[in-house]
Amino acid sequence: MKVLVKDESLCIGCHTCEEVCAQLFFKTKDLGKACIHINTDKDRFHHIGICNQCGECINHCPVQAITRGANGVVRINKNICVGCMICVAECPEGAMSRHDELVEPFKCISCGACVKKCPTGAIKLKDIEVDKKEKAVF
């Protein structure tokens, strides 16, 4: 399966990845609706928040709305999700997202659109294996 990997030392904080993501998935320029997030700390270091498809959120969803698909990507079924946001709170990468205009959380599905537009190569797609316990192996 393919997952996004990051090299934060290459990130220049241009937010192109967020713009591409928000436009692709929500048809908006609202960066709050991007599945990837760039946060800059007080030292001007850019932190890239992306889902690595670890599957930890699957274990925390009380209604089993989060599953791993046949291709290994972790997905949220909006028809089952009750919007409790437990997955957002429990995500070890801080990659589950929420927005005030949306009932359910959302996350990266490793589509790679951001990779194609990143001007510095700070984000890449990497092939990994998924073990029998449905946990990503890096």
SS3 (DSSP) at 28 = coil
Please give the structure tokens belonging to residue 17.
């990845």
pLDDT at 134: 47
105 found inside a domain:
yes
Give the domain extent around 88. Answer: 2-126
Compare 87 and 130 and report the one with higher pLDDT: 87
In a domain, 80, yes or no: yes
What is the amino acid identity at position 22? A
CA dist., res. 75 & res. 66, Å (int): 6
Number of domains in the chain: 1
pLDDT at 1: 86
Q: Does 131 reside within a domain?
A: no
What are the residues whose beta carbons fall under 8 Å from the beta carbon of 100, sequence distance 6 or more? none
Residue range 36-59: mean pLDDT, rounded = 94
Enter the tokens of residue 81.
Answer: 């999700």
Residue 6 pLDDT: 95
Q: Is residue 25 part of a domain?
A: yes
* Token duo for residue 43: 């030292």
Q: pLDDT tens across 96-135, in order?
A: 999 999 999 999 999 999 999 999 999 999 988 765 444 4
H-type alpha helices, the chain: 16-26, 56-60, 86-90, 113-117
Residue 137 lies in a domain: no
Quick check: is 135 in a domain? no
pLDDT band at 55, cuts 50/70/90?
very high
With respect to residue 134, please indicate whether it lies within any of the assigned structural domains.
no
Whether residue 40 lies inside any domain: the answer is: yes
Tally the residues of the chain: 138
CATH number at residue 38: 3.30.70.20
